[in-house]
């Protein structure tokens, strides 16, 4: 197979990644994330109307008259399905949801509440905290694992690649105001696993090649290793993306955000294994001595 | 790596077949509990309600402090120690002791054998922490004392919740403790939790108190409003009878007024108390108070001695049934707040299952087709491994009765996509080995050996993510972590035992063929 010179573009892609990360951070800090009821508290109602005359404006108007705080209404999958979110949560009043349903039926006709989620402020704060802890913990666990398995230069490269993927994925969610809920946390953790997996495969090869070719510079060596593992990288990304696309397209509205986050993560994860993890090895001047020294110790 | 002993082949086959059986058992009917196992569907797939309740322990703490004050008074009286100025303030008991007895009181409270302030050896903690300033003592629940109190009120509450939920008769409710002040209630198949919520939201403290004619009663009075909110009444604080003495309650029809009422019967002690009070109170109005609201306040026309009575109060049949249910199940030790609720209708659940299965089938076909296109015969081997992987995964989930959620299905599909990775790593390695090695058996063997650490590394990283999700995640997300984690294990098994077994047979048979892979 023809050799592709990935290493020629290390610099340009590093600049690109740098820009993307900074842009993501700017968005995360100034625009923030669109937290769903899981993390913000409030009420979510997924409803199905039986007439096509019901539209977003009508539904929003009737909800606005009920004094429920900030209301957002979105189409959900098809024309008759909507998701309504509002600030107020009052699950202690057993009639709360029933009353909303009655008022709504009077203004827009028969509605069916397919899903109701009602999360109090205490629970949402806890869910947010445990989500953040879970992500931090998994990053720490990966760091620990790779630190045991490889030399520190490799660990640094892999961890930088991980941060890159997580930050940019969250950045995309911020830019497009996509909802962050519990399943997105699961997606981010899986991305962390996948990205690590991808990096480890290339790194294993780099280390093997370091032993094999004593006189090849690391700049060349990373390129050889990337090329040798390239068909595997492509095939695995393709099969994973095929599975994820199938969830995204056919898996229903509830899994849309989750599969989208995963798709982004797999793309960024594959890219970062090549263009973040490897340049780190190059700039840290990893050589045969790096691994020989470690092995002697 | 290519050699398999006959015993090994046999055990791999048997194991695969047994586990796969449980995948199939999801679709068949067998008259045996063990062999007809089905995978459990999460609430998001079968529809139902999830409620998280939190006990408001404040009133319990105050109550306990009040009864503790009585205990203290008696205790010190027995010991001939004069204490005065008992106050309950800021969740602590404050009192003064005469000057000469300060040390004695201190030792009585601080002793490891203390009768009044028990010491828990294993937690190195008394029930109360003590602060002493001159003659004044301040007692506050210690952390462990508080945990103990919370646990006991949680245990009581969970029992009452269970009785109430059982009485409503939903199928297979799941009621669990969460921490030391929360109760999780899962109600499969229930798409309108309104009734259950109203039943669980009531403490159901029932008392009978006389309406006061003069505002100067020895026990004091309080102003309470009626249930319907129309009027208020002054009620004596003296409790004639409480719900504790109730034996049974049921909705009935009053023949004279044609009204729905709740009839109750009292235990012996209750009947005696009630008889005495109603004898003395003929002509007075007796208020029936539930959770601080007056349901009704009928006039006592004659003494009620038999221990049977009726509560009237503009009930519909439904509301009478619910009140009777609440009275039968008993009062909660403290009010419960619903702090999280998730309800999924059965339609949506069905739609989710269909969408999940649809995307699984399509994802599976795409991956299988791609692998066949890339590797031809070895693609078939990888696909066979993938199929057995799926059977093993679903089989294990069924065998251990794991709960399958919508994210869980996503985890299965993701496993399908990622599972081929291991075989791809191996096949690619073998291709490389074949470039320098003429003996195909040797090449295959070293292909397997050299890719092993990489494959382990790659899978362990994903496994770490799955394990963390399992411990940190809740509900549906836990379902995802289970399928993802088990999926990794079945992937490794199917790659290293099933795919390798077939590869080995094929390679040994065709070792002289050119271009094996």
What residue in B sits closest to A101 (Cα-Cα)? B192
A227 to chain B, any CB pair closer than 8 A? The answer is: no
Binned at pLDDT 50, 70 and 90, residue A244 comes out as very high
Long-range contacts formed by B18-26: CB under 8 A, 24+ apart: B19/B391, B19/B392, B19/B395, B19/B396, B19/B399, B20/B388, B20/B391, B20/B392, B20/B395, B21/B395, B22/B394, B22/B395, B22/B396, B22/B398, B22/B399, B23/B390, B23/B391, B23/B392, B23/B394, B23/B395, B23/B398, B25/B398, B26/B394, B26/B398
Q: Across the A/B interface, how many CB contacts are shorter than 8 Å? A: 223
> What pLDDT does A176 receive?
95
| Angle value at C-alpha B93, between B90 and B98, nearest 5 degrees | 135
What residue in B sits closest to A244 (Cα-Cα)? B414
| % residues pLDDT > 70 (chain B) | 99
Do the Cβ atoms of B197 and A96 come closer than 8 Å?
no
Do the Cβ atoms of B496 and B452 come closer than 8 Å?
no
> What pLDDT does A117 receive?
92
Number of other CB atoms surrounding residue B172 within 10 Å: 10
Chain A partners of B345 at a C-beta cutoff of 8 Å? 112-115
Backbone dihedral angles phi then psi of residue B510, each to the nearest 5 degrees: -110, 35
Instruction: Locate the domains of chain B by residue range.
Output: 6-42+345-509, 48-200, 206-342
pLDDT in tens, B436-454: 888 888 999 999 999 998 9
pLDDT in tens, A56-90: 888 888 888 888 888 999 988 888 899 999 988 77
Mean pLDDT of chain B: 88
Mean pLDDT of chain A: 90
Chain B partners of A41 at a C-beta cutoff of 8 Å? none
Binned at pLDDT 50, 70 and 90, residue B214 comes out as low
Q: Do the bridges between strand B40-41 and strand B308-315 make them parallel or antiparallel, or are there none, so unpaired?
A: unpaired
Q: What is the number of residues in chain A? A: 297
Binned at pLDDT 50, 70 and 90, residue A294 comes out as low
pLDDT in tens, B112-132: 888 888 888 888 888 888 888
Q: Do A197 and B421 touch (CB under 8 A)?
A: yes
Chain B partners of A46 at a C-beta cutoff of 8 Å? 348
Instruction: Give the right CATH number for B206-342 from 3.30.1360.200, 3.40.1360.10, 3.40.640.10, 1.10.357.10.
Output: 3.30.1360.200
What residue in A sits closest to B424 (Cα-Cα)? A232
> What pLDDT does A172 receive?
96
Q: Do B458 and A200 touch (CB under 8 A)?
A: yes
Q: Does residue A161 have a pLDDT over 90?
A: yes
| HSE-CB for B277 with a 13 A CA cutoff | 20
pLDDT in tens, B222-233: 888 888 888 888
Sign of CA dihedral A183, A187, A192, A194: positive
| Nearest-angstrom CA–CA distance, A248 and B44 | 18
Among B90, B93, B100, B91, smallest CA distance to B70 is for: B93
Cβ-nearest to B367 among A119, A239, A258: A239
Chain A partners of B46 at a C-beta cutoff of 8 Å? none
Residues 263 to 292 of A: which have CB under 8 A from any B CB?
Answer: none
Cβ-nearest to B366 among A114, A117, A242: A242
Binned at pLDDT 50, 70 and 90, residue B87 comes out as confident
pTM over 0.90: no
Q: Do B420 and A236 touch (CB under 8 A)?
A: yes
pLDDT in tens, B177-208: 998 899 999 999 887 888 888 888 888 999 99
Give chain A's domains with CATH numbers. Answer: 6-36+123-296 (1.20.1640.10), 42-118 (3.30.70.3400)
pLDDT in tens, B464-487: 889 998 998 777 788 899 999 999
Which of A91-95, A137-141, B319-323 shows the lowest mean pLDDT across its residues? A91-95
pLDDT in tens, B96-116: 888 888 888 888 888 888 888
Q: Do the bridges between strand B221-225 and strand B232-236 make them parallel or antiparallel, or are there none, so unpaired?
A: antiparallel
Average pLDDT over residues A5-19: 94
> What pLDDT does B508 receive?
87
pLDDT in tens, A164-219: 999 999 999 999 999 999 999 889 988 888 999 899 999 999 999 999 888 889 99
> What pLDDT does B458 receive?
84
Smallest CA–CA separation between A27 and chain B, in Å?
A: 27
- Higher-confidence residue of A1 and A40: namely A40
pLDDT in tens, B390-409: 999 999 999 998 889 999 99
**Interface test mutation site (partner B, options A85, A92, A147, max chain B beta carbons within 10 A):** A92
CATH superfamily of this structure's domain B6-42+345-509: Multidrug efflux transporter AcrB transmembrane domain (1.20.1640.10)
Among B491, B369, B375, B517, smallest CA distance to B422 is for: B491
> What pLDDT does A273 receive?
94
Do the Cβ atoms of B385 and B495 come closer than 8 Å?
yes
User: Both tokens of residue B221?
Assistant: 């009075």
- Higher-confidence residue of B43 and B477: namely B43
Cβ-nearest to A91 among B338, B416, B417: B338
A98 to chain B, any CB pair closer than 8 A? The answer is: yes
Smallest CA–CA separation between A234 and chain B, in Å?
A: 10
Q: Do B472 and A137 touch (CB under 8 A)?
A: yes
Average pLDDT over residues B66-80: 87
> What pLDDT does B516 receive?
73
Q: Is this complex scored with an ipTM above 0.85?
A: yes
pLDDT in tens, B149-164: 999 999 999 999 999 9
């Amino acid at each position: 197979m023809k050799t592709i010179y990935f290493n020629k573009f290390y610099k340009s892609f590093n600049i690109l990644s740098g820009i993307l990360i900074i842009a993501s951070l700017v968005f995360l800090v100034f625009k923030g994330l669109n937290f769903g009821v899981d993390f913000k508290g409030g009420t979510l109602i997924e409803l199905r109307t039986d007439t096509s005359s019901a539209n977003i404006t009508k539904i929003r108007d009737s909800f606005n008259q009920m004094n429920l705080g900030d209301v957002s209404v979105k189409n959900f999958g098809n024309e008759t399905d909507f998701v309504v979110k509002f600030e107020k949560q009052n699950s202690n009043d057993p009639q709360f949801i029933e009353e909303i349903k009655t008022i709504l039926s009077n203004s827009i006709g028969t509605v069916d509440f397919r899903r109701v989620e009602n999360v109090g402020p205490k629970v949402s704060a806890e869910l947010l905290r445990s989500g953040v802890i879970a992500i931090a913990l998994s990053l720490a666990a990966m760091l620990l694992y790779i630190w045991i398995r490889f030399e520190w230069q490799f660990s640094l490269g892999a961890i930088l690649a991980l941060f890159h993927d997580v930050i940019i994925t969250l950045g995309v969610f911020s830019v497009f105001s996509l909802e962050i809920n519990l399943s997105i946390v699961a997606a981010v953790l899986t991305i962390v696993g996948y990205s690590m997996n991808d990096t480890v495969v290339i790194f294993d090869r780099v280390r093997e090649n370091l032993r094999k070719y004593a006189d090849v510079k690391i700049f060349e060596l990373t390129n050889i290793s990337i090329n040798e593992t390239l068909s595997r990288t492509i095939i695995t990304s393709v099969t994973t993306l095929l599975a994820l696309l199938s969830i995204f397209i056919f898996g229903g509205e509830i899994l849309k955000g989750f599969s989208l986050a995963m798709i982004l993560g797999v793309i960024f994860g594959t890219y970062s294994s090549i263009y973040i993890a490897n340049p780190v090895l190059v700039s840290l001047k990893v050589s045969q001595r790096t691994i020989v020294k470690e092995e002697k110790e | 790596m290519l050699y398999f002993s006959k015993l090994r082949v046999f055990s791999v086959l048997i194991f695969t077949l047994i586990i796969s059986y449980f995948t199939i058992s999801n679709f068949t009917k067998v008259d045996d509990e063990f062999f007809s196992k089905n995978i459990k569907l999460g609430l998001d797939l079968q529809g139902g309600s999830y409620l998280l309740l939190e006990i408001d322990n404040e009133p319990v703490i105050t109550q306990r402090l009040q009864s503790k004050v009585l205990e203290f008074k008696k205790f010190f009286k027995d010991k001939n120690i004069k204490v005065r100025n008992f106050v309950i303030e800021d969740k602590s008991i404050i009192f003064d002791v005469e000057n000469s007895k300060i040390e004695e009181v201190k030792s009585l409270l601080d002793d490891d054998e203390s009768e009044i302030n028990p010491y828990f050896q294993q937690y190195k903690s008394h029930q109360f922490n003590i602060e002493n300033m001159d003659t004044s003592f301040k007692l506050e629940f210690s952390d462990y004392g508080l945990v103990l109190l919370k646990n006991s009120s949680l245990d009581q509450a969970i029992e009452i919740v269970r009785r109430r939920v059982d009485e409503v008769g939903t199928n297979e409710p799941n009621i669990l403790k969460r921490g030391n002040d929360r109760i999780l209630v899962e109600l499969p198949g229930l798409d309108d939790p309104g009734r259950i919520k109203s039943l669980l939201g009531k403490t159901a403290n029932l008392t009978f108190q006389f309406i006061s004619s003069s505002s100067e009663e020895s026990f004091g009075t309080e102003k309470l409003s009626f249930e319907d909110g129309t009027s208020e009444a002054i009620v004596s604080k003296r409790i004639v009878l409480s719900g504790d003495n109730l034996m049974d309650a049921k909705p009935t029809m009053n023949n004279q007024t044609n009204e729905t009422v709740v009839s109750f019967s009292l235990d012996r002690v209750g009947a005696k108390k009630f008889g005495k009070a109603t004898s003395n109170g003929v002509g007075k109005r007796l208020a029936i108070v539930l959770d601080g609201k007056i349901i009704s306040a009928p006039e006592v026309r004659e003494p009620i001695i038999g221990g049977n009575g009726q509560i009237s109060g503009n009930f519909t049949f439904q509301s009478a049934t619910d009140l009777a249910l609440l009275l039968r199940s008993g009062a909660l030790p403290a009010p419960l707040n619903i702090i999280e609720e998730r309800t999924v209708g059965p339609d949506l659940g069905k739609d989710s299952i269909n969408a999940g299965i649809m995307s699984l089938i399509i994802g599976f076909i795409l991956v299988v087709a791609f692998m066949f296109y890339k590797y031809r015969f070895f693609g078939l081997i990888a696909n066979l491994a993938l199929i057995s992987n799926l059977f093993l995964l679903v089989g294990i989930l069924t065998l251990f009765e794991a709960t399958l959620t919508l994210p869980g299905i996503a985890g299965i599909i993701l496993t399908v996509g990622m599972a081929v990775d291991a075989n791809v790593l191996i096949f690619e390695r073998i291709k490389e080995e074949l470039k320098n090695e003429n003996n195909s058996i040797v090449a295959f063997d070293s292909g397997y050996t050299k890719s092993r650490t990489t494959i382990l590394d790659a899978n362990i990283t994903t496994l770490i993510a799955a394990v963390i999700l399992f411990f940190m995640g809740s509900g549906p997300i836990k379902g995802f972590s289970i399928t993802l984690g088990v999926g990794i294990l079945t992937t490794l098994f199917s790659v290293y035992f099933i795919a390798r077994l077939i590869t080995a047979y094929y390679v040994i048979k065709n070792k002289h063929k050119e271009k094996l892979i």
